Amino acid sequence: MAAPELSRLCPGCGFWLPTLAFSGADISARTGGNDRLCYPCRQERRDAIKFANRWVEKARATRRAHAKKLDISVPVLEHDYGWELARMACELEHAYGGNCPECGQAFVEMPNGIQDLTVDVIDRDAAPVWGVNTRPLCQTDNRRKGIATPAKRAAIALAYRIRRGQPAAARLFDMEPITPVVEPGRTPRPLLAVEQLPLGPK
């Protein structure tokens, strides 16, 4: 089989490529736009546009999902409660550079990309005013909010804080073995309860 003839120049990547690597058979009939580009170049441009718009797209999807859940129309969310796409996109992008307010983990380090950033309507019985009654929250914590009690969520948040060393807490395997102190004529002291254990260095 003969090598395919490299007969057409792609202005995007600058390579001579087979004609079939382009969508339009007739070059002269097509004017401007991506029609002149090879398939890989066209794909690259589409991806770049998607990437540039990803926060607007995320804002749009987020607003649509909340509108459905809250049973409030998108125009009402936008005009009465301030869910404006440009503002939402800007604030979501900014929030993504920070940490989840509940578990304290960095959004960028979560495994699912920007999907891990969600919008939480803080008080679900109050008006969902954007920026007042909303906050960024990781997907895991947002799901948990629907099923776990506030006490459980607070305990989990504390566990995350302790893992980060704020506040410092002693770990079982960092500690000296505890030897019961026995004084003459007395019964051994009971072992310390967990809340009485000495705290590690700050």
Using CA of residue 128, residue 52, residue 109, residue 68, what is the dihedral sign?
A: positive
Task: Name the phi and psi angles at 139, rounded to 5.
Answer: -55, -40
The smaller minimum CB distance to Zn ion, of residues 77 and 141, is found at 141
Nearest to 37 by CA among 26, 50, 23, 51: 23
Q: How far is the CB of 26 from Zn ion (least distance, A)?
A: 18
49-57, 134-142, 176-184, 185-193 -> range binding Zn ion (CB under 5 A): 134-142
The smaller minimum CB distance to Zn ion, of residues 11 and 201, is found at 11
Nearer to Zn ion, 12 or 24 (CB): 12
Closest CA relative to residue 68, chosen from 90, 56, 48, 83: 83
Amino acid identity for residue 108 in this structure? V
Is the separation of the CB atoms in 96 and 114 below 8 Å? Answer: yes
| List 77, 100, 117, 121, residue binding Zn ion (CB under 5 A) | 100
Least distance in Å: CB of 80 to Zn ion?
A: 29
Under rule CB under 5 A, residue 13 binds Zn ion: yes
- Whose Cβ is closer to Zn ion: residue 7's or residue 73's? 7
Amino acid at 85: L
First to last CA, the chain: 73
Stretch that binds Zn ion, among 61-69, 103-111, 116-124, 147-155 (CB under 5 A): 103-111
Residues that bind Zn ion (CB under 5 A): 10, 12-13, 38, 41, 100, 102-103, 138, 141
